[in-house]
Amino acid sequence: MLYVEKKPEKLIDENGLRTDGRRPREMRPIKMEVGVLDRADGSALVEWGGNRILAAIFGPREVHPKHMALPDRALVRVRYNMAPFSTPERRKPGPDRRSIELSKVIRNALEQAIFVEKYPGAAIDIFVEVLRSDAGTRVAGITAASLALAEAGIAMKGLVAACSIGKIGDVIVVDPGHDEDMWGDADMPIAVMFEDRLITLLQMDGPMDESQFSEALSLGMSCCELIYELQKEALRRPFVFVERKVVGGDQTV
């Protein structure tokens, strides 16, 4: 074993700071970019802390094998996959139990937002590739896939934004990082169609009492609102960019 995880002495220090220097309610830096791939119908790259997540959409397209097609709605398929180089220790390529489960819950989280009845008989394929993993890959993946769906021109009721909430000792923290993911006391990923305040993914690991849970849930909603704002900005950015280029007569870009 070449890479051994070292547990930090404390996850929160005497000044209330976390191992990466953040305060409990501080998110990691997030960058979103839409349209990074050429061949896909829609794509997005999300850099979230140390995560690098690439999502791409193909569809609506013909279903293969044909018998899987649904007569009244689109077949939505999700493949969440971790790259072999996404962790310090190499991962064996191919799906494992975790990635199969995550593909399922991510599919549900996104499917709620898609007007599936508009595409009967067709498939919408969603690929989420974790290139670099740093805690919270599923929520970053949902955030990226939702952007890619919008770019692909798929009809949706709204965007899906996602974030994770954690617990260290008795402190509720937002957006757990790597150390907190490994040694924290609770983790609760949540995905929300923010305009409608509908929760489409909720998982939880580790106990929380009543007040902790209600704090975590409302913090989760606020974090998703922030992610939603960043998503909107990322979708609009290319148009603003083109408009500036044309209106400003700047042809150098």
How many residues sit close enough to another protein to count as binding (CB under 8 A)? 75
Cβ-based nearer residue to another protein, 163 or 192 = 192
Instruction: Select from 48, 49, 129, 189 the one that contacts another protein (CB under 8 A).
Output: 129
Footprint (CB under 8 A) of another protein, residues 40-79: 40-43, 47, 50, 52, 54-56, 58-62, 71, 79
Closer CB to another protein, residue 186 or residue 193? 193
Q: Which residues, listed in sequence order, are joined to residue 163 by a DSSP beta bridge?
A: 190
b vs e for 207-234, b when ≥16 Cβ sit within 10 Å of the residue's Cβ?
A: ebeeebbebbbebbbebbebbbebbbeb
122 lies in the site for another protein, by CB under 8 A: yes
Minimum gap (Å) between residue 182 Cβ and another protein: 14
Q: Does 187 bind another protein (CB under 8 A)?
A: no
Q: Residue 99 Cβ, how far from another protein at the closest point, in Å? A: 11
CB distance 156 to 149 below 8 Å:
yes
Cβ proximity of 71 and 166 under 8 Å: no
Q: Does 88 bind another protein (CB under 8 A)?
A: yes
Report the b/e string of 160-170 with b at 16+ CB within 10 A: bbbbbbbbbee
* Cα diameter, the chain: 60
Rule CB under 8 A: choose which of 12, 125, 140, 186 binds another protein: 125
Whether the Cβ atoms of residue 18 and residue 11 lie closer than 8 Å to each other: yes
Residues 98-117 that bind another protein (CB under 8 A): 113, 115
